[in-house]
Amino acid sequence: MARVPKSDGRNPRKRPDGRSLRARRQRKSRRAQVLESALTAFVEKGYHAASITDIITGASIARGTFYLYFESKRAVFEELLGGYLKRISEVVSRVSLEPGAPSPEAQLSANVNRVLDVLSANQGLNELLLRQAVGLDADFDHKLDEFYGRLLDYIQGALDLGQRMGMVRADDLDTRLLATCVLGSVKELVNQYLVGDRPGEGEGELDRDMAVRVIISYNLRGILQSPVA
Amino acid sequence: MARVPKSDGRNPRKRPDGRSLRARRQRKSRRAQVLESALTAFVEKGYHAASITDIITGASIARGTFYLYFESKRAVFEELLGGYLKRISEVVSRVSLEPGAPSPEAQLSANVNRVLDVLSANQGLNELLLRQAVGLDADFDHKLDEFYGRLLDYIQGALDLGQRMGMVRADDLDTRLLATCVLGSVKELVNQYLVGDRPGEGEGELDRDMAVRVIISYNLRGILQSPVA
Amino acid sequence: MARVPKSDGRNPRKRPDGRSLRARRQRKSRRAQVLESALTAFVEKGYHAASITDIITGASIARGTFYLYFESKRAVFEELLGGYLKRISEVVSRVSLEPGAPSPEAQLSANVNRVLDVLSANQGLNELLLRQAVGLDADFDHKLDEFYGRLLDYIQGALDLGQRMGMVRADDLDTRLLATCVLGSVKELVNQYLVGDRPGEGEGELDRDMAVRVIISYNLRGILQSPVA
Amino acid sequence: MARVPKSDGRNPRKRPDGRSLRARRQRKSRRAQVLESALTAFVEKGYHAASITDIITGASIARGTFYLYFESKRAVFEELLGGYLKRISEVVSRVSLEPGAPSPEAQLSANVNRVLDVLSANQGLNELLLRQAVGLDADFDHKLDEFYGRLLDYIQGALDLGQRMGMVRADDLDTRLLATCVLGSVKELVNQYLVGDRPGEGEGELDRDMAVRVIISYNLRGILQSPVA
DNA sequence: TATGAATGAGTCTTCATTCAT
DNA sequence: CATGAATGAAGACTCATTCAT
């Protein structure tokens, strides 16, 4: 377990590249460097296949340096994913009924737009969110359940509100199920168009405007009591 | 010295008639036994955490015996998932325009029903399909892409047909995107209600009728040019 | 964590030496083989410096084979030491006062002789007992405390008995302290003469008869109320 | 640009007198500070389990500072132990035969007393001496061998002298073996009563007078040709 | 067919030591 | 003198897969 150098300890390490430590660090914090490299590794190889070696090689740091900033491979993943979940959550705001507030539909649209903004800007993290974190372990399952649960609550809340306002049809359809459908349609859209492919590869690009329109229109038309005029 | 081919995984010989002693001992063929145990292990622990030891312990066989029937851990998973994908695919039939055929809507509804039949009866496999196989490796990604691609093709085909028949609104919405939404809503519904929980646990149970109605109604109302009469 | 072979699994391992597995095993059980090699490693390098690699190299087995028989490096050590403590303990018998029993002094001498028998035959294990296990960790400390505690109890018991029989001087000396001295003199003798040096190296050899005589005589003369006639 | 020292952790400076800043900061020199902290760490966790981090944390210094004063972890241990060995050695003086010298027995008693003085005052170092340094590595083994060898020489010398003076029985008992017994009894006494337990815990306390009496009496009665009058 | 002992490549993690500032 | 970020060698342990019987 413990290293037993036994002797001298004169083991001068030559730094292969000329850059000084400080120089390397200045560009961006080591921590961020590791996070970035880890994200790349996770996206390219998947959580399990990505090794610490992949991460540190990508970040051009030594093995020990990794553990200086993170407790384990799992911890980096957790930070990447957790941070992303937080950022997405923060961008979703409950529909406001204040007198001067925009129409519920407009608010919904704005929410979708903001979420898609975040998602579009983080293709790599989408891979973690929608693929790597799925079924990873009980802990992450719980984390995701909570996250999606909050989103479902939000959507269902909006639907219930709409029903009370007479804007959403109030037949016998369970609003929780409806909310699930709405969530699923967005997830799948993101899954098909905002995962994996590095931006600019031309394939799988998502037309943002079209996407928002599809999401809103598709969902609303199915939900609104009567077609919009 | 003729060496018996060592790997392979010979097909289980079915013996519908007077079963031999040997046959009796394995009412359920060794192969099926292993598949079942593997499924349990994968569901309970996840693909990576499930070990060969888990599988053979569950199947009460020796380590070597496992490799008599399957080339690797991956191969069992592949067979479980592949078989499931095939069974689901087989249950989806293109919408028929034959003169005496039921209405497209009825056909759609029938398709959804058949798919939900299969899904409801295989909660464990749903876990593999929707969680374990996701992001496992490039190969499975490809397999799933193909599978979902075929489903999308089917749905999009139905939508396009509906447009030509004047039943589906033909505004500027991309039918591929619409199809993606439809697929996503079903996936999420299944994910929320038909994954994980062992059947009969009362919690998370899916009301089949309600589900079909939600799926059909929610999706059609959003897609049909005018509300159904 | 999990190995992801990704492909074939065709990785034929050639066995460098000609001997078949079975042939190698027959000589002595794998378990014993590992224990022996581990003992050698611990004696030659000390617990910490001895690596699993040392152990498996010495036993000519693969890394995994080691873990087939022992949970960890610590576990092998524990088994070696624990077994030794047990064997020594079993050889010490309480002084009997039965009518026809030998004289207490003879019984004592017999005990010492039996213990030295065991110790003489296990020079390597003495190194573990008197050097490697000392201060290893709280758990071993406890184990040793218990062991030596039992020995002290035994010795003190004999002294107390001797006092009651009028054979041992009963001045104000604490018998626990006296027992500690007795134990210590034996430990040091063993430490100086029965540790480390492989048998037959000529140096540090212990003249068994002389040793027993010294131990008995030295201790008794100091303990007995009056010098033996 | 003068940088304000950013960390600190410096010892709370009481400053009753006029000592300079520097002097004040290190009432106890950095070196001594490190030694003290290292001793604590070694005693509490053992040599291997004690990390440089433990040492520098305890001493409230930076990692690099440690290496300013010591070449390695081993070096600190070496200094602690070596110094202790030296101090003990210095306190043992050969039995003098000068005309006016005290009786050999008195001299012996004085020696034992002085050694116990040192040992009693350094419980922590006893742990290093009797437990941590044992079986650490070949080098320390040698150091200890030498140390105990010198003690044995001293004791044996006294015994031989005693024999020549007719005070020690001169039967066929090897004086080296006898000396070993004497050494062992002292070591064990110390080991049982002066190791580990922090002073003042009430338990395991050694009654100094009783101890000296036991050591002297026990050993002499066993060694002297006839019981003391 | 069936068995299970044996294999060893691959992974994570620790920690004494260095050195640029 | 002091600092603490960075280093990387070294070690323990896992587990899918093989193969002699």
Indicate which CATH number applies to the domain containing D182: 1.10.357.10
Interface test with C, best of B7, B45, B47, B72 (most C CBs within 10 A): B72
Same domain, C138 and C33: no
pTM given for the model: 0.84
Same domain, C62 and C100: no
Cα gap D168→D226, rounded to integer Å: 8
What does the block give as tokens for B167?
């039943």
Cα gap B32→B200, rounded to integer Å: 24
pLDDT tens-digit readout, C62-77: 999 999 999 999 999 9
pLDDT tens-digit readout, A82-99: 999 999 999 998 888 888
Using an 8 Å CB-CB cutoff, list chain D residues near A4: 137
Same domain, B102 and B180: yes
Query: For residue C60, is it within any domain?
Result: yes
Check residues 17 to 36 of chain A and report those whose beta carbon is under 7 Å from nucleic acid strand E.
20-23
Estimate in Å the CA D55 to C1' F3 gap, whole number.
16
pLDDT-derived band of residue A19, with 50, 70 and 90 as boundaries? very low
Give the number of beta-carbon pairs within 8 Å between A and C.
9
Same domain, A36 and A88: no
Long-range residue pairs from D12-15, CB within 8 A, at least 24 positions apart, any chain: none
Query: For residue A4, is it within any domain?
Result: no
Same domain, B147 and B39: no
* Per-residue pLDDT tens listing for chain D (229 residues): 333 333 333 333 333 444 444 444 555 788 999 999 999 999 999 999 999 999 999 999 999 999 999 999 999 999 999 999 999 999 998 878 888 888 877 888 888 889 988 998 999 999 999 999 999 999 999 999 999 999 999 988 888 888 888 877 777 778 898 889 889 999 999 998 888 655 554 445 667 777 777 787 788 776 666 554 3
Distance from CA of A86 to the nearest CA of D (A): 33
Residues B36, B40, B43, B47: is their CA dihedral positive or negative? negative
pLDDT tens-digit readout, A193-211: 888 665 554 445 667 777 7
Bases of chain F within 7 A of a CB of the protein = 1-21
Residues with Cβ within 8 Å of C151's Cβ and at least 6 positions away in sequence, in order, are C92, C183
Other Cβ atoms closer than 10 A to A162:
22
Query: For residue A122, is it within any domain?
Result: yes
Last residue of a domain, one of D69, D87, D107: D69
Same domain, C90 and C185: yes
Tell whether the model's pLDDT for residue A8 goes beyond 70: no
Say if residues A53 and A73 touch (Cβ distance below 8 Å): no
Query: For residue B219, is it within any domain?
Result: yes
The CATH number given to whatever domain includes residue C31 is: 1.10.10.60
pLDDT tens-digit readout, A140-151: 999 999 999 999
Same domain, C121 and C214: yes
Distance from CA of C188 to the nearest CA of D (A): 5
Distance from CA of C196 to the nearest CA of A (A): 20
Which residue of B48, B49, B72 is in closest CB contact with C9? B72
Q: Which residue of D has its CA nearest to C129?
A: D135
Same domain, C43 and C140: no
Query: For residue B12, is it within any domain?
Result: no
Spell out which chain A residues touch chain D, with contact meaning CB-CB distance below 8 angstroms.
1-2, 4-6, 9
Same domain, D115 and D208: yes
Query: For residue A14, is it within any domain?
Result: no
Bases of chain E within 7 A of a CB of the protein = 1-21
Same domain, D53 and D105: no
Last residue of a domain, one of D51, D69, D87: D69
Question: Does strand E come within 7 Å of the CB of A227?
Answer: no
Same domain, A61 and A140: no
Check residues 39 to 78 of chain A and report those whose beta carbon is under 7 Å from nucleic acid strand F.
61-65, 67-68
Query: For residue D56, is it within any domain?
Result: yes
Tell me if A222 and B227 make a contact (CB, 8 A cut-off). Answer: no
What average pLDDT does the segment A151-159 reach?
90
Using alpha carbons, list the distances in angstroms from residue A6 to C48, C58, D60.
Answer: 12, 22, 26
Same domain, D83 and D64: no
Say if residues D142 and D84 touch (Cβ distance below 8 Å): no
Spell out which chain B residues touch chain C, with contact meaning CB-CB distance below 8 angstroms.
48-49, 71-72, 74, 137
Burial class (CB in 10 A: 0-12, 13-18, 19+), B131: buried
Number of domains present in the structure of chain A: 2
Say if residues C49 and C80 touch (Cβ distance below 8 Å): no
Identify the CA nearest to C226 among candidates C144, C155, C170: C170
- Choose between A108 and B52: higher pLDDT: B52
Range of the domain at C122: 74-223
Cα gap C124→C108, rounded to integer Å: 26
Query: For residue A6, is it within any domain?
Result: no
E strand or H helix at B178: helix B175-193
Cα gap A109→A115, rounded to integer Å: 10
What does the block give as tokens for A94?
């409950």
